[in-house]
Structure 1
């Protein structure tokens, strides 16, 4: 297939692009290469497949409607995976405008391009952050998500609503995937695995929020990519059992779906840190701090709908995943 991937130089986008190319798809990647974190890491990810004969790349911002429209018209993708976004809960407290431009303006540009390009299926990144103040675990796509606790979460909830509108008005099949704490090789420097690794290597204390009482549904990147591809290959369809008198937030009478994509096995944050220390061969001080604004104490994905519909089955244990991440980290940073 011809697949357009936005955020192709990002953590998940690069891993997905490599997998799509390996199975024979033609991929056009779009990324703005911004400096939210070190662009050198993005360039290193791209270098793994940039010269592949079935890959082309465009440096452009999703908020540039003309550039996005031209890219779609030239490549004529059959399917689209939108992973480009301004990420980060904490950064949204300092720079909210970045989220409006990338996650709202940018996303409507993608929706418009998909509509006019008659794209067969749009798969887009949502986030576990949409569950916000919810406390019922595990988080289910059938739960209401009307109480976001960060602008980042609100922007992802808005994406789901915008996608439904296009599915309803124009028959565009859309599937939103709520990612749960993705980690692994080539990960983002602003996320806890990379931050923990850096501090452990340097022997510096780790800041542990919520006094260490967090748990997270850590999901290995290869499992995420497998789920994205399985979803991409199953375009959303209208739910014949959808009842407008008792609406299910995860489906619709339009070709629209929402899924959680996680490991379905929450891990205490302190256990994750312990595994990092074991694999890096040293222990460090933990500074126990209060909960940060915009954060949530626990996440846990109910992935039963994704298992049922596309056969999603994450199989990387936290022990395997942390070891693979640390092995990559050592190699990338030339550590003994």
Structure 2
């Protein structure tokens, strides 16, 4: 089928685009190649598949309404995987406006394109950050997410609510995916694993927040991609059994679903660092710091709904995943 992938030069988007092309789909990639981080890395990701005969690239900004509308009108995608966003939790303190422009206004342009061009299914990226102040573990899609702790999380919560309204008003099938701490080859330079690896190889100290005591459901990129592809193929239907007097946040009377995608085995940050040290063959110099504002002490993914709907469970261990990242990093940066 013909699939529009926004953020196709991004970490997750580039991996998803390759998987779709490998299975024979036609992909329209949409990315503005922003300079939030190394544009050269984004171009290198694109170079892995940009000359594929079933790939077409559109370089434009989601906030450009005319460009998004033209993309839908020209290419007429059957399904859409919306991964483009202003990423990063802490950058919002410096530039909050870009988060709303990209993550809210941009999302509106995409979902309007889906509505007016008969798209069969919109799959969009959300985040485990929407669980915010909730401390009940593991995080379940059936729990409340009314207390986000960062602007980034708030914009993703807004996406979930906007998608539900379009599913209800226009019958647009929508699936939101809450990603849990994604890592792996071709990752983002602002993420912990990338920063730690760069610093350790340079003999520089790494900043370890919360003294390394918090836990995360670190999720390898291949597990994320598999979840995205499987949910793309599962178009949600309206649920006539849904009860408005006892509403379930994870589904609806509308064709709308939410799923966590994360490793079920949370790992303490200090353990994660030890796995990285073994893969690099070097010890880290650690600067221990308190928990950062906006960070949550722990995350743990309940993926029972994902397993039930798709038959897939994220399974790559941090030992396997970190080793694969280190191999890629050494090769890419010739170290």
Show the counterpart of 2:298.
Answer: 298
Q: How does 1:145-294 map to 2 (within 5 A)?
A: 145-294=145-294
Q: 1:48 offset after TM fit, Å?
A: 0.2
Show the counterpart of 2:313.
Answer: 313
Q: 1:128 offset after TM fit, Å?
A: 0.3
Show the counterpart of 2:92.
Answer: 92
Gaps of 5+ in 2: none
Q: Distance in 2 between matches of 1:202 and 1:144?
A: 43
Q: Distance in 2 between matches of 1:244 and 1:66?
A: 37
- Tell me the alpha carbon deviations over residues 250-282 of structure 1, each in whole angstroms, 9 at most, x when there is no partner: 000000000000011101000111111111111
Q: Distance in 1 between matches of 2:78 and 2:284?
A: 49
Q: 1:236 offset after TM fit, Å?
A: 1.4
CA RMSD of aligned residues (A): 0.6
Asked if structure 2 preserves the Cα contact closer than 8 Å seen for 1:178 and 1:258, the reply is yes
Show the counterpart of 2:12.
Answer: 12
- Tell me the alpha carbon deviations over residues 71-102 of structure 1, each in whole angstroms, 9 at most, x when there is no partner: 01111100000000000001011111010100
TM-score by length of 2: 0.99
Asked if structure 1 preserves the Cα contact closer than 8 Å seen for 2:230 and 2:310, the reply is yes
Q: Distance in 2 between matches of 1:328 and 1:236?
A: 36
Show the counterpart of 1:41.
Answer: 41
Gaps of 5+ in 1: none
Asked if structure 1 preserves the Cα contact closer than 8 Å seen for 2:7 and 2:31, the reply is yes
Q: Distance in 2 between matches of 1:86 and 1:303?
A: 25
Comparing 200-209 with 235-244, greater Cα deviation is found at 235-244
Asked if structure 1 preserves the Cα contact closer than 8 Å seen for 2:200 and 2:285, the reply is no
Q: How does 1:51-70 map to 2 (within 5 A)?
A: 51-70=51-70
Find the residue that maps to 2:276 and give its secondary structure: helix
Q: 1:37 offset after TM fit, Å?
A: 0.3
Asked if structure 1 preserves the Cα contact closer than 8 Å seen for 2:141 and 2:260, the reply is yes
- Tell me the alpha carbon deviations over residues 298-324 of structure 1, each in whole angstroms, 9 at most, x when there is no partner: 111100000001112222111111110
Find the residue that maps to 1:260 and give its secondary structure: strand
Show the counterpart of 1:83.
Answer: 83
Runs of 4+ aligned structure 1 residues displaced above 4 Å come to: none
Asked if structure 2 preserves the Cα contact closer than 8 Å seen for 1:8 and 1:17, the reply is yes
Q: Distance in 2 between matches of 1:27 and 1:122?
A: 14
- Tell me the alpha carbon deviations over residues 149-180 of structure 1, each in whole angstroms, 9 at most, x when there is no partner: 00000000000000001000000000000000
- Tell me the alpha carbon deviations over residues 158-213 of structure 1, each in whole angstroms, 9 at most, x when there is no partner: 00000001000000000000000000000000000100000110111110111211
Q: Distance in 1 between matches of 2:265 and 2:180?
A: 11
Aligned residues: 335
Q: Distance in 2 between matches of 1:290 and 1:98?
A: 28
Q: Distance in 2 between matches of 1:45 and 1:12?
A: 10
Asked if structure 2 preserves the Cα contact closer than 8 Å seen for 1:93 and 1:150, the reply is no
Asked if structure 1 preserves the Cα contact closer than 8 Å seen for 2:208 and 2:289, the reply is yes
Q: Distance in 1 between matches of 2:156 and 2:288?
A: 30
Comparing 309-318 with 59-68, greater Cα deviation is found at 309-318
